[in-house]
């Protein structure tokens, strides 16, 4: 299988974890792939993924080698690898709505001229464009989806802005003969998956959950963007995803609540639920879950990028449902966790 050539839209904390992870795992054999769900997927290993183009708007990143830009402020993702120079210069993308009012406190917008994104994608031979823009960047997400279409690239929408789950966009990728995946990337060990698993376990044991919530507090620019511009849409997506794990109706709330700057790239998730079991005996759970945010995207993005390479090789077009259901909170069609995993593996192994 040839190498996978990737472009990153946004060189923030998730991009930092992704780029560091590529180098980290490339230095290890397949027997030392702790932290990856699929060390090799469809014959493709992490060492076969290469970032060949990247775009951002912060002047501390634009014009620098990608290996330097991933560690530039305001990024706060933990450093786990010394990334050698890549030869890939971060180019200035159009600002559009990519930076909210609150984020302007921490993002220093470059005054460089905007790059010709579609031409850059073509000249670099990009196959898969990964959109890592902030949650509130609706216009910018749409614009980059158009650039991917114009350049003939597959598109991965990691944001909660609707692309793969929107028929208008899905049909455009069908017409172009290009694959699409999204929307709103799941975390490898995220609060949504944990909440859904807990509810499924309890309901499977005969517990009737009547009320439950899961709320997040985090640092980093993504938490700041979510607070200002995407809180409601992310809450709607997460609530719908969590509620789907119960076979009956319950009062469910799930989503982000606040930004705390000194948390850096850490995220704290708080879970609470109430229900009844045998003879109506009461049950209540109250717990806290803490993770480092950026690395949560790494393993899942590795899987999605490799799956999109397979989709390109198989000449698939439009939203690739097994990939969307496996790796995103708002796929065009949702499945229970086990079914989504099974359909993804079947897609990788059999192409269906």
pTM of the model: 0.92
Distance, CA of 234 to CA of 347 (rounded, Å): 28
Q: What is each CA distance from 36 to 24, 165, 183, 302, 336, in whole angstroms?
A: 11, 27, 21, 9, 21
First to last CA, the chain: 19
Distance, CA of 222 to CA of 229 (rounded, Å): 10
Q: What is the pLDDT of residue 31?
A: 60
For helices 191-204 and 231-243, give the axis angle rounded to 10 degrees: 30
Distance, CA of 55 to CA of 61 (rounded, Å): 9
Q: What is the pLDDT of residue 139?
A: 97
CATH 3.90.950.10 fits 4-186+295-350, yes or no: no
Distance, CA of 187 to CA of 194 (rounded, Å): 10
In the numeric block, the tokens 């929408």 are attached to: 157
The DSSP secondary-structure symbol of 278 reads G
Distance, CA of 24 to CA of 196 (rounded, Å): 31
Each residue's pLDDT tens digit in the chain (352 positions)? 579 999 999 999 999 999 999 999 988 765 678 999 999 999 999 999 999 999 999 999 999 999 999 999 999 999 999 999 999 999 999 999 999 888 888 899 999 999 999 999 999 999 999 999 998 899 999 999 999 999 999 999 999 999 999 999 999 999 999 999 999 999 998 898 899 999 999 999 999 999 999 999 998 787 877 877 778 888 988 899 899 899 999 999 998 778 898 998 899 999 999 999 999 999 999 999 999 989 999 999 999 999 999 999 999 999 999 999 999 999 999 888 889 999 999 999 987 6
Q: What is the pLDDT of residue 258?
A: 86
Per the structure block, which two tokens stand in for 333? 């069609």
Q: What is the pLDDT of residue 102?
A: 81
User: Would you call 118 helix, strand, or coil by DSSP?
Assistant: helix
Per the structure block, which two tokens stand in for 190? 């995220």
Q: How many CB atoms sit inside 10 A of residue 248's CB?
A: 8
For the beta sheet containing 282-292, the strands, ordered from the edge strand earlier in sequence to the opposite edge, are 251-259, 208-218, 266-276, 282-292
What's the gap between Cα 297 and its chain centre?
6
Distance, CA of 61 to CA of 54 (rounded, Å): 10
> Which of 217, 252, 219, 224 minimizes the C-alpha distance to 237?
252
The DSSP secondary-structure symbol of 226 reads I
The reply to whether domains 4-186+295-350 and 191-292 share a CATH topology is: no
Q: What is the pLDDT of residue 345?
A: 97
Q: Are strands 91-92 and 128-131 parallel, antiparallel or unpaired?
A: unpaired
Rounded to the nearest 5 degrees, what angle is found at the Cα of 122, between the Cα atoms of 38 and 5? 15
The DSSP secondary-structure symbol of 159 reads S
Q: What is the pLDDT of residue 228?
A: 76
Q: Name the residue ranges covered by the structural domains of the chain.
A: 4-186+295-350, 191-292
Q: What is the pLDDT of residue 351?
A: 79
> Which of 240, 270, 241, 253 minimizes the C-alpha distance to 210?
253
> Which of 171, 141, 174 minimizes the C-alpha distance to 156?
141
Distance, CA of 58 to CA of 154 (rounded, Å): 25
CATH 3.40.50.1580 fits 191-292, yes or no: no
What is the dihedral angle through the alpha carbons of 313, 316, 321, 326, rounded to the nearest 10 degrees? 10
């Amino acid at each position: 299988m040839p190498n996978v050539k990737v472009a990153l839209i946004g060189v923030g904390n998730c991009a930092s974890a992704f780029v560091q992870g590529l180098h980290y795992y490339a230095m290890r054999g397949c027997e030392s792939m702790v932290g990856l769900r699929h060390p090799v997927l469809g014959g493709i290993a992490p060492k076969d993924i290469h970032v060949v183009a990247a775009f951002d708007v912060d002047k501390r990143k634009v014009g620098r080698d990608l290996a330097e830009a991933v560690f530039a402020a305001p990024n706060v993702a933990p450093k786990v690898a010394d990334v050698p120079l890549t030869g890939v210069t971060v180019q200035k993308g159009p600002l559009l709505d990519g930076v909210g009012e609150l984020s302007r406190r921490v993002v220093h917008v470059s005054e460089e001229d905007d790059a010709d994104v579609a031409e850059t994608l073509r000249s670099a031979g990009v196959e898969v464009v990964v959109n890592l823009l902030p949650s509130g960047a609706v216009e910018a997400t749409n614009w980059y989806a158009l650039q991917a279409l114009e350049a003939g690239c597959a598109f991965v929408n990691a944001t909660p802005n609707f692309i793969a789950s929107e028929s208008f966009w899905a049909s455009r990728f069908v017409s172009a003969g290009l694959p699409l995946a999204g929307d709103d990337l799941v975390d490898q060990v995220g609060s949504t998956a944990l909440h859904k698993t807990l509810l499924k376990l309890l309901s499977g044991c005969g517990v009737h959950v009547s009320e439950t919530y899961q709320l997040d507090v985090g640092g980093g620019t993504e938490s700041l963007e979510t607070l200002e511009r995407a809180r409601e849409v992310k809450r709607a997506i997460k609530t719908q995803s969590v509620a789907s794990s119960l076979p009956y109706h319950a009062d469910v709330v799930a989503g982000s609540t606040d930004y705390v700057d000194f948390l850096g790239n850490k995220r704290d998730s708080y879970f609470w639920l109430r229900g009844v079991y045998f003879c109506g005996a009461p049950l209540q759970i109250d717990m806290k879950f803490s993770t480092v945010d950026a690395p949560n995207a790494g393993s899942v993005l590795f899987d999605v990028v490799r799956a999109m390479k397979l989709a390109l090789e198989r000449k698939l077009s439009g939203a690739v449902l097994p990939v969307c259901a496996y790796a995103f909170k708002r796929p065009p069609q949702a499945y229970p966790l086990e079914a989504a995993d099974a359909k993804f593996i079947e897609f990788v192994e059999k192409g269906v």
